Chain A
Amino acid sequence: MEILRPLDAALSVIEDGMSLVVPPDYGGVAMEATRALVRRGVRRLHLLTLPASSLQADLLIGAGALASIETSAVSIGELGTGPRFAAAATAGTLAIKDATCPALHAALQASEKGVPFMPLRGVIGSDLLKVRPDWKVVDNPFAENDPILLVPAIRPDVALFHAPFADRHGNVWVGRRRELFVMAHASAKTVVTVEEIRDGNLLEDDTLAGSTLASFYVEAVAVARNGTWPLKFGSLAAEDTAHLQEYVRLAQSEDGFRQYLDRYVYERRAA
């Protein structure tokens, strides 16, 4: 299949039950794609946030699309804890793997290098160790009496994010958001939405190539204008704070959340 596809065809890479890694608000969140996944009725995803998430995770939780989430935090910016995340946590209806930001970066870096684990300082004495039996403390083999944490590599099925532009070959420019490289390198497949497609080959221009993810990591690219709305997009788009306030207000209840979905997610189906 072509790398450049319409949005729904690009998202066909993401199947029910897969593990999906996504960036935080500063990294370019594929919100238009997320709404399309909810419209499609995606189910049983295992979401990994690198390292935290806001509306994207909360929307997928509320829509019943997740079997589990591994995250350092789900927070709608200064508006506080994601309301559907909090509701699912207190009701015990979502499997939550609490983490800390550098542990998730390290776990994906291990996958990127093709090694089984990565050591990390800190964390010893945190209750995170009690709820993460998959994290192990070992003795540093190169020193005496120096316990250190090991986190296992994580290889997601798909990385999904939004970027400013790509070329027709599927090379994607990510700028300074280099955690997107790590996500793509660490995952089996990568799906990207972009603001626009540019002519030429991004790899031929050295001023662009160093910030470009080469197409051999990329399964599908789709154009989705304002693709992070209502979240910000680096220096290209500001957060729609009024919309997020409306979301947080509505999503306090299950009924309110359904109203939000009808108004802002399913509404596009008719359009």
Chain B
Amino acid sequence: MAGVPEAKPEELLIDVVLRLISGAKHVAVGANSPIPAAAAFLAQRLGTGQPYVSLQQSPKHNLFTDGGRELFDAAGQGRIDVFFLSGAQIDGQGNINLVAIGDYARPKVRFPGSFGSAYLYFVVPRVILFRTEHSRRTLVSRVDFISAPGVSPPNVYRRGGPIALVTPLCHFAFDRQRARFCLESVHPGHTVEEVLDNTGFEFDRPATVPVTPDPAPATLRLLRETLAPELAALYPQFGARVFGIVPRAAE
């Protein structure tokens, strides 16, 4: 690591996502997802132009010219390899809840809604779950409302589903056969005990849980020196916080 300052937590998460999207041809990123977008653009620069990266909110990076349905139609055909989803709640079977806490008819808390999750979770081969709050409030034994189920019976058409859950503490891999998460690695500075204390669902783990590896120095340099300004233009708050790039309007 000589000469390159150590990775910030966001940079470590970008690197985790970078490894998860390896080899993808087309990565679609939803709104307000700077870490997935950063990983996808990094993969593009490290590779030979692929993957294609679709960002809905950027005219330049929105590859869809046939209306809002085109993303879903392309995904339905298998033309989108990677998508990112989150949940107000995520449970140990990979179910996600984007709708409400409590009784559906009279919820305690109401969230925006399911967006495209109930469809994309089935048809996109690699769905990466991303949750910036790792707590027993968010990672629960059973979600209150299933916006999209983690697994399906064998007769239900399903090309895709969750492959991983990435949080500020750790990286879980998802085993679709067993419908369970397995602790893949714990990020530097955190412990397995911390993950156990803050996770509301049961999960598998090896006898020795690896530490999430640091990003390669070349990856960090590419991220900080080449990609950071582009990311800051797309995500001003993220650019200011992680890369110290002040938005032009505020100069």
Q: Are A90 and B109 in contact (CB under 8 A)?
A: yes
Q: Which residue of B lies closest to A80 (CB)?
A: B112
Chain A interface, number of residues (Cβ within 8 angstroms): 54
Q: Are B147 and A102 in contact (CB under 8 A)?
A: no
Q: Are A73 and B119 in contact (CB under 8 A)?
A: no
Q: Which residue of A lies closest to B76 (CB)?
A: A121
Give the interface size class of chain B: 35 or more
**Interface flag for B197 (CB, 8 Å):** no
Q: What 1/0 flags go to A78-91 for Cβ under 8 Å of B?
A: 10111001100110
B112: min CB distance to chain A, Å: 4
Q: Are B152 and A100 in contact (CB under 8 A)?
A: no
Interchain CA distance A116-B93 in the complex, whole Å? 35
Q: Which residue of B lies closest to A124 (CB)?
A: B156
Contacts of B104 in A (CB 8 A): 127, 131
Which of B65, B110, B119, B147 is close to A85, meaning CB atoms less than 8 Å apart? Answer: B110
**Interface flag for A26 (CB, 8 Å):** yes
Contacts of B116 in A (CB 8 A): 51, 72, 100-102
Query: Which B20-34 residues have a C-beta within 8 angstroms of A?
Result: 31-32
Contacts of A101 in B (CB 8 A): 68, 72, 115-116, 119
Q: Which of B120-128, B164-172, B187-195 contacts A (4 or more CB under 8 A)?
A: B120-128
Interchain CA distance A103-B119 in the complex, whole Å? 9
Contacts of B149 in A (CB 8 A): 125-126
**Interface flag for A43 (CB, 8 Å):** no
- Taking A71-B113, A72-B116, A105-B72 as contacts, is the C-beta distance between A128 and B147 under 8 angstroms? yes
B45: min CB distance to chain A, Å: 24
Q: Are A147 and B155 in contact (CB under 8 A)?
A: yes
**Interface flag for B114 (CB, 8 Å):** yes
Contacts of B178 in A (CB 8 A): none
Q: Are A127 and B152 in contact (CB under 8 A)?
A: no
Q: Are B56 and A26 in contact (CB under 8 A)?
A: yes
Which of A71, A105, A145 is close to B69, meaning CB atoms less than 8 Å apart? Answer: A105
Interchain CA distance A92-B68 in the complex, whole Å? 30
**Interface flag for B207 (CB, 8 Å):** no
Q: Are A148 and B152 in contact (CB under 8 A)?
A: no
**Interface flag for A44 (CB, 8 Å):** no
**Interface flag for B185 (CB, 8 Å):** no
Interchain CA distance A146-B123 in the complex, whole Å? 15
Q: Are B119 and A123 in contact (CB under 8 A)?
A: yes
Contacts of A81 in B (CB 8 A): 110-112
Q: Which of A32-40, A171-179, A200-208, A243-251 contacts B (4 or more CB under 8 A)?
A: A171-179
Q: Are B68 and A105 in contact (CB under 8 A)?
A: yes
Contacts of B147 in A (CB 8 A): 100, 126-128
Query: Which B129-173 residues have a C-beta within 8 angstroms of A?
Result: 145-149, 152-153, 155-157
17 extra interchain contacts, Cβ-Cβ under 8 A, other than A73-B115, A234-B59? A23-B68, A51-B116, A78-B32, A80-B112, A86-B111, A92-B105, A92-B106, A99-B113, A100-B115, A100-B116, A101-B68, A101-B72, A105-B69, A126-B146, A128-B114, A148-B157, A182-B69
